[in-house]
């Protein structure tokens, strides 16, 4: 299968990618810039794909990292990237997160599918890309159920999602005791709108939100 080696945007991290699978993009960079990882923490990446987020997280010296993806091909690619970067404190699983049994962790990361199961927008015959964009295997409510189950009390959940689903995300997260603590809009100058938004939730956290300055993309130089 054709592969390329690319840099994570604004980074020196090289990532091996398959041309037929989901590839690192602005969303990957935005979430990697937004997340906060502390030394000695345990981190889970849901839908780890080629491992880019965990490879970036490794610079913070977490104790352990866990990557989970439904595609064996994605996990094989992630293994290659971790070996290339000499990262050995990682466990990788081919599984739905709904079926994975782990001890509670400090941090969960996710760049989830944006479109709900009923949406016809951007449907793709490629099964890798369809799963990355549509909630076929991981509806939003199931993602949040798993986050509630797998986070320690006061653990942090970082995700990037479409801004037009923000209200839905906050309501569903609140039902599960996940308090929104920080957000960062992604301003796309090409479309003159908020393309997406990065969110940090804390399990059992108190109300109160910090608004980061927007990340700007597509701006003419």
Q: What percent of the chain has pLDDT over 70?
A: 86
> What does the DSSP assignment read for 121-141?
TT--SSHHHHHHHBTTS--HH
Residue 185 pLDDT > 80? yes
Please report the pLDDT score of residue 24 as a whole number: 77
- What's the average model confidence in pLDDT over 75-87? 94
Alpha helices in 22-71 (DSSP H): 26-34, 52-57
User: Does CATH place domain 3-212 in 3.40.50.150?
Assistant: yes
Domain segments of the chain as ranges: 3-212
* pTM for this model (two decimals): 0.90
pLDDT tens-digit readout, 16-37: 877 777 777 888 989 999 999 9
Helix, strand, coil fractions of the chain, as percent rounded to 5: 30, 35, 40
In sequence order, what are the residues at sequence separation of 6 or more whose Cβ sits closer than 8 angstroms to the Cβ of residue 155? 104, 105, 106, 107, 108, 202, 203
Please report the pLDDT score of residue 122 as a whole number: 60
Q: How far is CA 178 from each of CA 80, 116, 161, 164, 174, rounded to the nearest angstrom?
A: 34, 21, 16, 19, 5
pLDDT tens-digit readout, 98-154: 999 999 999 999 998 766 765 556 666 766 556 666 677 789 999 999 999 999 999
């Amino acid at each position: 299968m054709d592969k390329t080696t690319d840099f994570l945007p604004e980074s020196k991290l090289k990532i091996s990618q398959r041309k037929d699978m989901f590839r690192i993009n602005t969303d990957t960079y935005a979430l990697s810039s937004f997340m906060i990882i502390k030394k000695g923490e345990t981190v889970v990446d849901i839908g780890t794909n080629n491992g880019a987020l965990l490879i970036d997280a490794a610079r913070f010296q977490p104790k352990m990292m866990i990557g989970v993806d439904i595609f064996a091909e994605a996990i094989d690619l992630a293994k290659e990237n971790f070996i290339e970067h000499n990262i050995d404190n990682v466990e990788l699983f081919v599984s739905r997160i709904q079926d994975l049994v782990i001890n509670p962790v400090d941090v969960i990361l996710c760049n989830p599918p944006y479109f709900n199961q009923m949406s016809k927008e951007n449907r793709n015959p490629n099964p890798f890309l369809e799963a990355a964009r549509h909630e076929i295997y991981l509806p939003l409510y199931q993602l949040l159920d798993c986050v509630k189950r797998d986070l320690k009390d006061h653990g942090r959940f970082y995700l990037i999602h479409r801004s037009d689903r923000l209200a839905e995300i906050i309501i569903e997260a609140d039902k599960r005791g996940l308090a929104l603590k920080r957000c960062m809009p992604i301003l796309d100058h090409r479309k003159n709108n908020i393309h997406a938004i990065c969110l940090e939730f804390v399990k059992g956290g108190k109300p109160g939100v910090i608004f980061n300055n927007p990340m700007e993309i597509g701006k003419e130089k």
